[in-house]
Amino acid sequence: MKINRRDLLFAGGLSLLAGTRAFGHGTGVAPPGAQSQNPGSGPARLLEALQRNRLPLTMSNGPAERGWDWLVQEARDARFTLIGEEHGVAETAQFSAGLFNALRGSGYSRIAVELSPIIAQDIEAAVRRNGLQGIVDFFAAPDTWSPMYLREEAQFLASVISAAPRTERVLWGFDREIFSDRYLISRLEARVPRRARESFTRLKEASTNAWARQQQNPSPANLFLFSQDPAMVSAVRAAWPNPDRESDTILRTLEESLAINAVARTGTAWASSQRRAQWMRNNLAARLSEERGRGAPPKVMLKFGYNHMIRGANYVNIFDVGTMTDEVAALSGARAFHILVLPGPGSRQAVIGPGRSFVSVSSDEFDEFRTGDQRLTRVFSNANATGHEVIDLRALRPLAQRGLEGWNPDVVRTIYGYDAAVIWKGAHASSSLR
């Protein structure tokens, strides 16, 4: 049995994304192509403007063209730039590396990604030691793995880290941990005080046993971080009241990852997603608090799945970490710039396959949340596009007024929650590091 991304979403508390309300599915409203084409109708006028309001973007020798120039200028003027992606697209990783490097001269010096805090820290250390090969070696270990185990993602991380001064910490991780519990627990072993040894041994044994079950019967239900009680880590913390900073971060990451997934099993999917969002918001707040004592606050780029990067309530009605950047920026009169990046016509993307592998699927046929023609990758795509395109979503806001929510609420939400959209034509699936 293979573990796919849908299994992980369900096990991790995001199953409500596949519910009847997510992405406009189940509203009883016909897809855009079946809407009235009366030129005076709201949806028709919005769709017409959406198709017209596009700039070209090329990627053959690095990002270029008018769409790229506009994105760079807008991002330079912002305190935060957020890239909300559909995962597993090679061009998105290449675009993100190019954008961060283009923005360094305007003060961008930190990048946050969908990794847990210590994994992000150790990946940065691996790059400092041995560049791209350092990431390859790090993820080759049997006790480390991530959905970012993709060559283009590794190249993106190596590029942005290597371009920064060695004295600078560039990479921030905000997310829970999914797979690398054995690695994190091993990082604690030499530091555990005698009074916490008994509870730590129980924790280590539970992780090891879960791994053995997972090897025999691959399933999210057998993964340690999706199946065990957070009290197991809480017991270690209670017996180890004053750990060093790194050990404290590892313990809190393990405890909170277990708690997020426990809520998914015993409570509601919404509550689990809310807890995950709060964990990420807390990590952003902690990193920004640390930076306050170091002079001018850094400009930060964030690259996460597009449900996390939207301004306002996200697609499951949670105020995720993306919204927090606008709140923080507004305190100093600054702003955040939100970019949605989606695969369009003829594109392919990588999804999790058997074991530690990925498989390439057609983006047009990939309907993970079962939303049919109302999904964003179809509504925002241009069948007549001659290449990649950039859309200024802000220009569409006068047309996305009250009353259109019944047609496609997620399109309206996106137009206000994102400032720009990049739509790939013929994009490529990311390739495995293997």
263-282 pLDDT, tens digit per residue, is: 999 889 999 999 999 999 99
Two structure tokens written together for 102: 């283009």
Q: 139, 219, 243, 248: which is closest to 183 by C-alpha?
A: 139
Residue 27 has pLDDT above 50, yes or no: no
Residue 205: pLDDT band by 50, 70, 90 thresholds? very high
- Mean per-residue pLDDT, 210-220: 91
Q: What is the pLDDT, as a whole number, of residue 75?
A: 98
SS3 422: strand
Q: What is the pLDDT, as a whole number, of residue 30?
A: 36
Residue 10 has pLDDT above 50, yes or no: no
The 10s digit of each residue's pLDDT in 342-368 is 999 999 999 998 878 899 999 988 877
Sequence-ordered strand ranges (E) for 37-146: 54-57, 80-85, 108-113
Residue 28 has pLDDT above 90, yes or no: no
The total number of residues shown for the chain amounts to: 434
Residue 314 has pLDDT above 90, yes or no: yes
- Mean per-residue pLDDT, 96-113: 96
Residue 371: pLDDT band by 50, 70, 90 thresholds? confident
Question: What is the average pLDDT score of the chain?
Answer: 89
Separation CA 176–CA 280 (nearest Å):
8
Q: Do residues 80 and 303 touch, judged by C-beta distance below 8 A?
A: no
Residue 401 has pLDDT above 70, yes or no: yes
Stronger pLDDT, 386 or 220, i.e. the higher one: 386
Query: Which string of DSSP letters, residue by residue, matches 8-65?
Result: HHHHTT-GGGGSSSGGGTTSSPPPGGGS---TTSHHHHHHHHHHHSEEEEB-BTBSBS
Residue 7 has pLDDT above 80, yes or no: no
**Alpha helices in 339-417, H assignment, sequence order:** 376-379, 409-417
Two structure tokens written together for 294: 């170091």
Q: With 0.75 as the threshold, say if the pTM is over it.
A: yes
Residue 369: pLDDT band by 50, 70, 90 thresholds? low
Report the percentage of the chain scoring pLDDT > 90: 74
H/E element, 353: none
Separation CA 14–CA 22 (nearest Å):
11
The 10s digit of each residue's pLDDT in 328-343 is 999 999 999 999 999 9
H/E element, 67: helix 66-76
Q: What is the pLDDT, as a whole number, of residue 1?
A: 39
Separation CA 94–CA 111 (nearest Å):
14
SS3 88: coil
The 10s digit of each residue's pLDDT in 55-68 is 999 999 899 999 99
Picking from 38-42, 145-149, 299-303, which range would have the lowest pLDDT averaged per residue?
38-42
- Mean per-residue pLDDT, 272-296: 93
**Alpha helices in 163-221, H assignment, sequence order:** 181-188, 197-216
Q: Do residues 310 and 330 touch, judged by C-beta distance below 8 A?
A: no
Residue 24: pLDDT band by 50, 70, 90 thresholds? very low
Q: What is the pLDDT, as a whole number, of residue 148?
A: 83
- Mean per-residue pLDDT, 98-109: 96
